[in-house]
Amino acid sequence: MQQTKERILIAALHLFARNGYEGVSVSDIATEVGMTKGALYKHYKNKRAIFDSIVTRMEALDQQRAKEHTLPEGAMDEMPEAYAQSSKEKILAFSRAQFRYWTEEDFPVCFRRMLTLEQYRNDEMSALYQQYLASGPLLYVADLFTALKIKDAYTLAVELYAPMFLFYSIHDGMEDKSLATRAFDRHLDAFCKHFPKD
């Protein structure tokens, strides 16, 4: 069943996110899914293939998400009021959505932690970590500011994204997750005050 393959992927992701790839055995995954380890090999050719499927899934999720947040042609004309936001409001909404995504959505949260645990193993993992969580988002925000003709776009990008990145980690270590979320909201308020455009 195709659903079983999905359950294996999710179970493996949860375990990898906590213990790292080497810290999880094929038996661990099988037990979590509720079958014997031999059965896993009916769905994936080996342990590494499960890991690779997770990465591929994240890439698909990421592309789909990028597509959804790109406005379709003519959408601005059809429902102008929904898009009648200032640049600042757009950036705030984007930041809040991004923070929610990486701290509350199960798959992204687990994927972020998994990548965090694998980033030093080889160049490929390091590149993935940078792309999804470190220099990647930073440069994305900087490009966004550059397109808005904002001065010192990179510096301002650091001021916006660095606290997001820090609060991911603080969120992970908190018993009461809402505290980290509110601290991040206060950061966004503060950021607004030295945002040049309106």
Which residues form the interface with DNA (CB under 7 A)?
1-2, 4, 24-28, 35-39, 41-43, 45-48
Q: Considering beta carbons, is residue 44 or 161 the nearer one to a second copy?
A: 161
Q: Which residue has the tokens 């925000």?
A: 141
Question: Least distance to a second copy from the beta carbon of 165, Å?
Answer: 5
Angstrom distance (rounded) from CA 187 to CA 139: 20
Q: From the list DNA, a second copy, none, pick the one residue 192 interacts with, judged by a Cβ distance below 5 to 8 Å according to partner type.
A: none
Q: Considering beta carbons, is residue 4 or 181 the nearer one to DNA?
A: 4
Pick the binder of a second copy from 4, 31, 116, 181 (CB under 8 A): 116
Q: From the list DNA, a second copy, none, pick the one residue 97 interacts with, judged by a Cβ distance below 5 to 8 Å according to partner type.
A: none
Check: CB of residue 24 under 8 Å from CB of residue 56. no
Angstrom distance (rounded) from CA 3 to CA 9: 10
Q: Considering beta carbons, is residue 42 or 182 the nearer one to DNA?
A: 42
Q: From the list a second copy, DNA, none, pick the one residue 16 interacts with, judged by a Cβ distance below 5 to 8 Å according to partner type.
A: none
Q: From the list a second copy, DNA, none, pick the one residue 67 interacts with, judged by a Cβ distance below 5 to 8 Å according to partner type.
A: none
Contacting a second copy within 17-46 (CB under 8 A): 17-23
Q: Does 192 bind a second copy (CB under 8 A)?
A: no
Check: CB of residue 37 under 8 Å from CB of residue 27. yes
User: By CB under 8 A, how many residues form the interface with a second copy?
Assistant: 40
Q: Considering beta carbons, is residue 71 or 190 the nearer one to a second copy?
A: 190
3-class state of residue 165 by DSSP: helix
- What are the b/e assignments for 99-124, b being 16+ CB within 10 Å? beebbeeebbbbbbbbbbbbbeeeee
Q: Does 115 bind a second copy (CB under 8 A)?
A: no
Check: CB of residue 39 under 8 Å from CB of residue 27. no
CA angle 191-196-197, nearest 5°? Answer: 105
